A and B are shown apart, each in its own frame.
Chain A
């Protein structure tokens, strides 16, 4: 049955498949440059030349944060890790509210002398889990989750959890 409608349908499907394949291959080829930030592991494996600006992303390592004040401007030293490698970061300026140990961050800057990443800007990255404060407290008290050490436990264990009112 080669009616015009059928022919047009096949034509559209064939064009669609070719186009989707072309886009898919292009994205696969450019995948590394579509990445918004480099992880410490990628940085250690293939360090960009000193002075070249790039973005570094990862988790703020627990116990690595120290702040010194010069006048009213704070300078913060911290390490960004992805669990396998860690990179020391120095940032002068006010950090975003969500910055804390164990938080995901993206730092924009370049490698300075001594293997320290000098950040011009620090952005906070937050997780995809939403819960009220008292649920977070209850999970912490029960020893099921500490936000400093990674993402929350599987959602089904807390997304309908009962907590005491007013706690």
Chain B
């Protein structure tokens, strides 16, 4: 292999593809053709998982049809947490390496993540009333997810609160990184403290405490929710990049006229 064949700026380090995609123009070239496929796959999997879960999967022995809320509630909860983890990673890139795309991604992830968290809270509360007998209780699991929702809202507000965008990015990145401490609290809340919310059903290492014909639709709908989150965030990032390009082009044109 001849080393000279590689262009000078070609990323070769581990994680180099992140640096490669950190350029907004390059990101657009990759994302725009992929987006329709991503959205289509997300829609297909969400519909397949939910229809399978609500129509064809068996009802639970104890909870009956109410357990079907899990095909929305559980994927929404997982995506809400994974979305916040992604937000924290973007914030790290934004604070330490000052990646322009990480700033945009963090700004666009907030509202989508908050939406999934709201979906998780609302569906959970509709599940809680018929099963537990209460829409809401202040146990550690429910409260920590509510805190996650407020962290998302705080991030959305903070990142847009400054006239100088860079200041907003720094402040919001610090909030996102500090808030990431809530993620292990959400996951382990049901083990560390007595909660009304039940423990974890799905485990990667041991057997999952769910019958196989109920597990499959849950996994399909989870995959669909993940892809939907990614598709929405990518679409928002593309739109934000276009918006910035348009704004700077207009500014340049205005300066030329003046």
Tell whether, in the assembled complex, residue B185 and residue A130 are in contact, meaning their CB atoms are under 8 Å apart. Answer: no
Tell whether, in the assembled complex, residue A130 and residue B211 are in contact, meaning their CB atoms are under 8 Å apart. Answer: yes
B214 sits at the interface (CB 8 A):
yes
Chain A residues, CB < 8 A from B133? 96, 121-124
Tell whether, in the assembled complex, residue A123 and residue B211 are in contact, meaning their CB atoms are under 8 Å apart. Answer: no
CB contact under 8 A between A156 and B207, given known A12-B95, A106-B196: yes
Tell whether, in the assembled complex, residue A130 and residue B139 are in contact, meaning their CB atoms are under 8 Å apart. Answer: no
Task: Give the number of chain B interface residues (Cβ < 8 Å).
Answer: 44
Tell whether, in the assembled complex, residue B200 and residue A128 are in contact, meaning their CB atoms are under 8 Å apart. Answer: yes
Tell whether, in the assembled complex, residue B194 and residue A57 are in contact, meaning their CB atoms are under 8 Å apart. Answer: yes
CB contact under 8 A between A36 and B58, given known A96-B133, A123-B132, A130-B67: no
Q: Which one, A16, A127, A131, A137, contacts B211 given CB within 8 A?
A: A131
CB contact under 8 A between A155 and B63, given known A122-B133, A124-B131, A126-B198: no
Chain A residues, CB < 8 A from B209? 127-130, 152, 155, 159
Chain B residues, CB < 8 A from A136? 61-62
Chain B residues, CB < 8 A from A135? 61, 211
How many whole Å from A34's CB to the nearest CB in chain B? 5
B208-230 contact mask (Cβ, 8 Å, vs A): 1 or 0: 11111111000000000000000
Identity of the chain B residue whose Cβ is nearest the Cβ of A160 in the assembled complex: B212
Roughly how many angstroms separate A159 CA and B209 CA in the complex, as a whole number?
A: 7
Roughly how many angstroms separate A29 CA and B64 CA in the complex, as a whole number?
A: 40
Identity of the chain A residue whose Cβ is nearest the Cβ of B202 in the assembled complex: A128
Tell whether, in the assembled complex, residue B61 and residue A128 are in contact, meaning their CB atoms are under 8 Å apart. Answer: no
Q: Looking at chain A's contact residues, is the secondary structure mostly helix, strand, loop, or mixed?
A: mixed
Chain B residues, CB < 8 A from A127? 62, 198, 209
Roughly how many angstroms separate A136 CA and B61 CA in the complex, as a whole number?
A: 7
Tell whether, in the assembled complex, residue B196 and residue A159 are in contact, meaning their CB atoms are under 8 Å apart. Answer: no
- Total A-B pairs, Cβ < 8 A: 133
Chain B residues, CB < 8 A from A38? 194
Chain B residues 165-207 with CB under 8 Å of chain A are: 177-178, 181, 185, 192-196, 198-201, 206-207
Tell whether, in the assembled complex, residue B96 and residue A126 are in contact, meaning their CB atoms are under 8 Å apart. Answer: no
Identity of the chain B residue whose Cβ is nearest the Cβ of A9 in the assembled complex: B96
CB contact under 8 A between A131 and B208, given known A23-B181, A35-B194, A36-B193: no
Chain A residues, CB < 8 A from B134? 121, 123
Tell whether, in the assembled complex, residue B61 and residue A96 are in contact, meaning their CB atoms are under 8 Å apart. Answer: no
A132 sits at the interface (CB 8 A):
yes
How many whole Å from A117's CB to the nearest CB in chain B? 16
Roughly how many angstroms separate A124 CA and B129 CA in the complex, as a whole number?
A: 10
How many whole Å from B120's CB to the nearest CB in chain A? 17
How many whole Å from B88's CB to the nearest CB in chain A? 10
Q: Which 4 A-B pairs have the closest CB atoms?
A: A132-B58, A155-B207, A156-B207, A136-B61
Q: A34-B193, A127-B62 are in contact. List 18 more A-B contacts (CB 8 A).
A: A5-B97, A12-B96, A34-B140, A37-B196, A57-B194, A96-B131, A121-B133, A123-B132, A125-B198, A126-B62, A127-B209, A129-B210, A130-B211, A131-B61, A132-B60, A154-B206, A155-B210, A159-B207
- Could you give 30 example pairs across A and B, Cβ below 8 Å? A8-B95, A8-B96, A12-B177, A27-B185, A27-B192, A35-B140, A36-B140, A36-B193, A96-B133, A97-B131, A98-B132, A106-B137, A106-B196, A123-B133, A123-B137, A124-B131, A125-B132, A126-B62, A126-B131, A128-B198, A128-B201, A128-B209, A130-B70, A131-B211, A132-B213, A133-B59, A152-B209, A154-B207, A155-B209, A159-B208
